[in-house]
Chains A and B, each alone.
Chain A
């Protein structure tokens, strides 16, 4: 566990704080992006009143959330209730520490980088489950149950879907994986893995069509029904952090990370990630929500076998090539 030599051009503290602050700011800004994009797709303006193009809407929302009463229901399990939104923020931010944004930008290059991401994303489900449990609310409970089942099911093949990439790159270290794509992005040889990971990633961040834990039309607000003020804000930003994290990861693993001609590497990274984020939002604008059992069937009966098949095929191919 040593800092990668390429990241040494910036001081470590600048890397750490620069990245953490910018991802939080970008995640908060995404709330505005999402609402504007949805508005655009749905023939309506979206937030356009505060500041130029409504850009300061985020600030206005933050101010509002900060000044709301910090309400904790009488029947809640208070320490857990407070802790839950912190967990989602913390795990998501930790997840960003392994992302190599550009040759010189990135917090740490772990040789178990990908495994660290899995660990963090598994931890994140605790925030939902604990939050819903501590709320002592039936809608929240149903949301928590769904979240637990969904995460458990989808994480299984999420991990397996990435093993093809790991085999091709021969490393769990994300920076090495990016460098291994200099000959060609992994999205082509690993197109099945890419598709599966994309699905799993959407499920992981609880976005439509996998937003069953909060399914507003069924469970009002699902696991965060009882949350308000900045605690709700943390869940909210946590969701966008998770979109951003998944998009960054897809970029890194399948789309060649910062690699690309002409433009500076960080811009390439931002461009690819941005497009993926747009895809997340487009999905939300377009798709209905499947039912809980249909989602499970889809995961266990289609995605998991497909991921295993992909693993076997990739492994077989590599062995065959190696002679």
Chain B
């Protein structure tokens, strides 16, 4: 098999200097600190989106993270992601100078520095006999849910965590699903039976005890009411549950409960071939359509060194922005609906329907086209595509002006949402908030500008910023983003490059067929890529993008196989929901609904 493995050749990265700066600062500034040691993994800093990787021991983790968060110059303010890897069956972990430390389970902390425009990775090697690490909830409150997730899916204990319970799986679940020995399909285990005993155990587990959720039943003066909002409720946008502790209609505490939409997308990635996993990505943020394909294919292209033709890049940008508009329109309509305005959502769904008409003409699909491919897109644009899109570009702005008057300028709506659920930039970074939720706090940080991928640097557009940080500004900001997306799409239409819609690299899926009947090497490559699917070179990669709701990335580990060894999906909605209790304490139930509406989450994006 080694003979058909493609070589990875990376083009020189424009961000290499940011990584080099960091490595330099790390060396010079950490010399005085004896409380932590680290080992810098030499190979990953060379990727087109480099992420310097530091290994450290679990005892030194807290001091190192504290120092990186506030000690180092231009610090890493955000805990971008926290996950783990079950390394026990992994074959390729580097050789010689790049060989990674021995580890059964590796904890992966991904940090982001806005000043440096740099993501870094901290890894902690754990022994299977002693699966425990210190909790970092004292450094970043956002780590709370992430650590619960790692505990749930890997069974790694976090010492000092305030509430380490399962978060995605049911509380009665046996085993930890992302461990390699855990079955991926029901057919790998005995058929499911529900005995009377099992049923009663399951039902008993559903009984609500406020104490288990960290809430008290009464104060000195009053007895609280507990309201179970969801998992089925008109305003929670999917299956999301919030347990509310109420004093009258005032919220004393709120505890979100997620996991109802968990489908094990990360586990599935370990079974599916690289190519056939694409449709699963579409369903992560199901309003984002092909936007979800992008971080996945970008990561793989980076891993395998697949160059993407310009035309494919611009087609991708155009489709992504179309979906950004579609997603924001759904947000806009449901936002108005959740504060009680009935009609806008109908108008906006009609616009979205027009958008889907275009998407259908181009891709053949509507909400989940799964249309991007490793190395390009699935087909070329159809004849007359530009006319369709131009029509839409001319049509939408007038509609948006109408909605301004209907929704944004409505006095009742303003009274309901202004100053509700407000937070500042520092809090946002602390809690891992990205996307419109971050930009509404006055920080114009958008990955499309800061770290352009897929030729975004070729486009002329602005990053809308508002500084109220409240529900109203989050809505206003998305409306502005629709206008900017229209601008980007117009530029795509005007300047669509000619050329091929996919790469001629051998790992492109599906591989080009042109030369297969002429030479045997191309024929073999084509046959294998179509039957097995492509074999990705071993390595680790990650390529974040600015998705509709914030930063989305796929952290992929290839073990030189036809499928992924580990795929970690970092979604924006997950940390956003974690903030809800902080935002709604002391407010009314109606305010909670407005806050939930303004966050713009998709439960599939939270639970994966």
From 336 to 350 in chain B, residues with beta carbon under 8 angstroms from any chain A beta carbon are: 336-343, 346-347, 350
Interface status of B225 (Cβ within 8 A of chain A): yes
Choose the segment among A88-96, A263-271, A285-293, A303-311 that binds chain B (4+ C-beta atoms closer than 8 Å).
A285-293
Question: In this complex, which of A209, A220, A289, A294 has the most chain B Cβ atoms within 10 angstroms of its Cβ?
Answer: A289
- A44-B346, A142-B589, A217-B235 are known contacts. Are A289 and B339 too (CB-CB below 8 A)? yes
From 289 to 320 in chain A, residues with beta carbon under 8 angstroms from any chain B beta carbon are: 289-294
Question: In this complex, which of B338, B343, B350 has the most chain A Cβ atoms within 10 angstroms of its Cβ?
Answer: B343
Per-residue CB contact flags for chain A residues 20-46 toward chain B (1 = under 8 Å, else 0) read 000000000000000000100111100
Contact of B342 among A139, A219, A220, A285 (CB under 8 A): A285
Could you tell me the distance in whole angstroms from the C-beta of B161 to the nearest C-beta in chain A?
Answer: 31
A292 and B590 contact, CB distance less than 8 A: yes
Could you tell me the distance in whole angstroms from the C-beta of B424 to the nearest C-beta in chain A?
Answer: 24
Contact of A287 among B350, B412, B590, B593 (CB under 8 A): B412
In the complex, what residue of chain A is closest to B410 when comparing beta carbons? Answer: A288
B412 and A209 contact, CB distance less than 8 A: yes
Determine the interface band of chain B, counting residues with CB < 8 A from chain A: 20 to 34
From 200 to 236 in chain B, residues with beta carbon under 8 angstroms from any chain A beta carbon are: 225, 227-228, 233-235
Per-residue CB contact flags for chain B residues 410-425 toward chain A (1 = under 8 Å, else 0) read 1011011000000000
A138 and B234 contact, CB distance less than 8 A: no
Could you tell me the distance in whole angstroms from the C-beta of A212 to the nearest C-beta in chain B?
Answer: 8
From 131 to 174 in chain A, residues with beta carbon under 8 angstroms from any chain B beta carbon are: 138-139, 141-142, 145
How many angstroms from the CA of A285 to the CA of B344 in the assembled complex? 9
Interface status of B588 (Cβ within 8 A of chain A): yes
How many angstroms from the CA of A292 to the CA of B251 in the assembled complex? 14
In the complex, what residue of chain A is closest to B406 when comparing beta carbons? Answer: A286
B416 and A291 contact, CB distance less than 8 A: yes
Interface status of A218 (Cβ within 8 A of chain B): yes
How many angstroms from the CA of A285 to the CA of B337 in the assembled complex? 11
B593 and A218 contact, CB distance less than 8 A: yes
B590 and A218 contact, CB distance less than 8 A: yes
**B341 contact set on A, CB distance < 8 A:** 286-289
Interface status of A216 (Cβ within 8 A of chain B): yes
How many angstroms from the CA of A208 to the CA of B245 in the assembled complex? 27
Per-residue CB contact flags for chain B residues 318-359 toward chain A (1 = under 8 Å, else 0) read 000000000000000000111111110011001000000000
How many angstroms from the CA of A219 to the CA of B249 in the assembled complex? 11
How many angstroms from the CA of A63 to the CA of B234 in the assembled complex? 26
A209 and B343 contact, CB distance less than 8 A: no
Per-residue CB contact flags for chain A residues 160-198 toward chain B (1 = under 8 Å, else 0) read 000000000000000000000000000000000000000
How many angstroms from the CA of A111 to the CA of B433 in the assembled complex? 66
A289 and B346 contact, CB distance less than 8 A: no
- A42-B347, A284-B342 are known contacts. Are A290 and B249 too (CB-CB below 8 A)? no
A292 and B343 contact, CB distance less than 8 A: no
**A208 contact set on B, CB distance < 8 A:** 340, 342
A216 and B234 contact, CB distance less than 8 A: yes
**B412 contact set on A, CB distance < 8 A:** 209, 287-290
B343 and A217 contact, CB distance less than 8 A: no
**B346 contact set on A, CB distance < 8 A:** 42-44
Could you tell me the distance in whole angstroms from the C-beta of A293 to the nearest C-beta in chain B?
Answer: 7
**A292 contact set on B, CB distance < 8 A:** 249, 588, 590
B415 and A290 contact, CB distance less than 8 A: yes
How many angstroms from the CA of A211 to the CA of B234 in the assembled complex? 16
Interface status of B282 (Cβ within 8 A of chain A): no
A38 and B249 contact, CB distance less than 8 A: no
Question: In this complex, which of B590, B591, B593 has the most chain A Cβ atoms within 10 angstroms of its Cβ?
Answer: B590
A138 and B227 contact, CB distance less than 8 A: yes
Question: In this complex, which of B342, B346, B416 has the most chain A Cβ atoms within 10 angstroms of its Cβ?
Answer: B342
How many angstroms from the CA of A42 to the CA of B341 in the assembled complex? 12
**A287 contact set on B, CB distance < 8 A:** 340-341, 410, 412
- A208-B342, A209-B340, A217-B337 are known contacts. Are A291 and B234 too (CB-CB below 8 A)? no
Interface status of A215 (Cβ within 8 A of chain B): yes
- A41-B343, A42-B343, A220-B234 are known contacts. Are A288 and B416 too (CB-CB below 8 A)? yes
How many angstroms from the CA of A26 to the CA of B399 in the assembled complex? 36
A286 and B415 contact, CB distance less than 8 A: no
**A293 contact set on B, CB distance < 8 A:** 588
**B234 contact set on A, CB distance < 8 A:** 216-217, 220
- A220-B233, A220-B234 are known contacts. Are A38 and B225 too (CB-CB below 8 A)? no
How many residue-residue contacts, CB under 8 A, span A and B? 79
B413 and A288 contact, CB distance less than 8 A: yes
How many angstroms from the CA of A211 to the CA of B233 in the assembled complex? 18
**B589 contact set on A, CB distance < 8 A:** 142, 218-219
How many angstroms from the CA of A211 to the CA of B593 in the assembled complex? 16
Determine the interface band of chain A, counting residues with CB < 8 A from chain B: 20 to 34
**B350 contact set on A, CB distance < 8 A:** 43
Could you tell me the distance in whole angstroms from the C-beta of A301 to the nearest C-beta in chain B?
Answer: 14
B347 and A217 contact, CB distance less than 8 A: no
How many angstroms from the CA of A145 to the CA of B234 in the assembled complex? 21
**A286 contact set on B, CB distance < 8 A:** 341, 343
Contact of B347 among A43, A209, A215 (CB under 8 A): A43
**A284 contact set on B, CB distance < 8 A:** 342
From 214 to 233 in chain A, residues with beta carbon under 8 angstroms from any chain B beta carbon are: 215-220
How many angstroms from the CA of A285 to the CA of B341 in the assembled complex? 7
How many angstroms from the CA of A219 to the CA of B244 in the assembled complex? 13
**B233 contact set on A, CB distance < 8 A:** 220
In the complex, what residue of chain B is closest to A289 when comparing beta carbons? Answer: B340
**B235 contact set on A, CB distance < 8 A:** 217-218
**A291 contact set on B, CB distance < 8 A:** 415-416, 588, 590-591
How many angstroms from the CA of A218 to the CA of B416 in the assembled complex? 13
How many angstroms from the CA of A236 to the CA of B347 in the assembled complex? 27
Could you tell me the distance in whole angstroms from the C-beta of A191 to the nearest C-beta in chain B?
Answer: 22
- A42-B347, A43-B346, A43-B350 are known contacts. Are A217 and B338 too (CB-CB below 8 A)? yes
**B228 contact set on A, CB distance < 8 A:** 138
**A139 contact set on B, CB distance < 8 A:** 227
- A215-B340, A285-B343, A287-B341 are known contacts. Are A294 and B415 too (CB-CB below 8 A)? yes
**A220 contact set on B, CB distance < 8 A:** 233-234
Could you tell me the distance in whole angstroms from the C-beta of B208 to the nearest C-beta in chain A?
Answer: 12
**B339 contact set on A, CB distance < 8 A:** 217, 288-289
Per-residue CB contact flags for chain B residues 583-594 toward chain A (1 = under 8 Å, else 0) read 000001111010
Could you tell me the distance in whole angstroms from the C-beta of A220 to the nearest C-beta in chain B?
Answer: 6
Contact of B340 among A38, A43, A142, A217 (CB under 8 A): A217
Could you tell me the distance in whole angstroms from the C-beta of A300 to the nearest C-beta in chain B?
Answer: 16
Could you tell me the distance in whole angstroms from the C-beta of B342 to the nearest C-beta in chain A?
Answer: 6
How many angstroms from the CA of A104 to the CA of B399 in the assembled complex? 51
**A138 contact set on B, CB distance < 8 A:** 225, 227-228
28 A-B pairs (CB sep. < 8 Å): A38-B343, A41-B343, A42-B346, A42-B347, A43-B346, A138-B227, A138-B228, A208-B340, A208-B342, A209-B340, A211-B340, A215-B590, A217-B234, A217-B338, A217-B340, A217-B593, A218-B235, A218-B590, A218-B593, A284-B342, A286-B343, A287-B340, A289-B339, A291-B415, A291-B416, A292-B249, A292-B590, A294-B415
Give me 9 other A-B pairs in contact (C-beta within 8 A), A38-B343, A141-B225 excluded.
Answer: A42-B342, A42-B346, A43-B347, A208-B342, A216-B234, A287-B412, A288-B412, A290-B416, A294-B416
User: 9 closest A-B pairs (Cβ-Cβ)?
Assistant: A289-B340, A288-B341, A42-B346, A288-B340, A217-B235, A288-B339, A288-B413, A288-B412, A291-B590
